[in-house]
Amino acid sequence: MGDETNPRPEWFEYWHIRSFLKSEVFDENTFYGFFSPKFKEKTNLSAEQVFDYIEHHKESDVILFSPFLDQSALFLNIIEQGWFAHPQLKSIFEKICGRYFGGIDHELMVTTTENTVFSNYFVAKPSFWARWFDICEDLFSIVEQGQDSLAIEIAGNTRYKESTASIRTFVIERIATLILFSEKKWKVKSHPSHECAVGKMPAAKSTNLLLALDALKTRFVQTGAREYLSAYFDIRIALLKGYTPVEFEDPSIGPAHGLQAYTDNLMKKLGSQSRNNRILSSL
């Protein structure tokens, strides 16, 4: 739906999704989804292909149609990817993770194409939408009331292409991934991202390397073995060199060294986390 139909354009598509979820009666076995007019351009999928994919995976709770393999593979998780482009997201998601997701450290999240949602391109059964809506509606209320620091941050603007946009839309579109990462009960199926559109970074054309990055993250998630992440970071440093966010850079020694220092710190934290997880799982 275009902005000309939206009485609250600062909320972008959330206003339309919200209106639907508040007014409809749902069938618990039906999938619901909300796709922007750019869905075909971003996914290369027709309506017939989408319905066919849903039909073949109807035992799932959530089905993803996320484009941008480069964005899900080049970054450890969707929040790191977000604050690469929108630095304000780092502080915002520290608060969001504390409020809704048990205080998980978003810097240590390792997500893959199997649980990453871009542009809200997913369909789900009502149980998942209810969980998603509880969080998003609480965020909506916080911003509308405007009484705390989180409200002020989410209500602000961020750089977007050659202009600015409300940061709230970039917050909302990351909530589904956080739910899928932190709550393992959901049955998820993901349409192959490499068949969809990619981003504009030079690395986006390196499909084989991006698939390797995604596979290395997946193996780390499955095994906790830091060797997979070490290989992952070696490849990604080479691909990201010269495109690091300001937060990773030290102007006196250059972006490559800044990214390496950031990577070394993450490896140390992730190594400690994986050891702790293995200890806990053995008790």
In this prediction, residue 245 carries a pLDDT of 53
**Cα–Cα distances in angstroms (integers) from residue 214 to residues 133, 194, 217, 229, in the given order:** 29, 11, 5, 11
196-235 per-position pLDDT tens digit: 998 888 888 899 999 999 999 999 999 989 899 999 999 9
The predicted model gives 272-278 an average pLDDT of 59
Q: Would you say residue 279 has pLDDT above 70? A: no
Q: Is there a contact between 78 and 107 (Cβ–Cβ < 8 Å)?
A: no
The predicted model gives 53-70 an average pLDDT of 97
131-188 per-position pLDDT tens digit: 999 999 999 999 999 888 999 999 988 877 777 888 999 999 999 999 999 999 999 9
Residue 227 φ then ψ, to 5°: -60, -35
Residue 73 φ then ψ, to 5°: -85, -35
**DSSP β-bridge partners for residue 160:** 163
In this prediction, residue 241 carries a pLDDT of 74
13-52 per-position pLDDT tens digit: 999 999 999 998 999 999 999 999 999 999 999 999 999 9
**Cα–Cα distances in angstroms (integers) from residue 271 to residues 69, 212, 266, 275, 276, in the given order:** 25, 21, 8, 6, 9
Q: Would you say residue 254 has pLDDT above 80? A: no
For tokens 């053995």, what's the residue?
282
Q: How far apart are CA 39 and CA 67, in angstroms?
A: 9
In this prediction, residue 255 carries a pLDDT of 45
109-136 per-position pLDDT tens digit: 999 999 999 999 999 999 999 999 999 9
In this prediction, residue 25 carries a pLDDT of 92
The alpha carbon dihedral of 157, 158, 164, 166 has a sign of negative
**Cα–Cα distances in angstroms (integers) from residue 264 to residues 49, 62, 230, 273, in the given order:** 43, 35, 9, 14
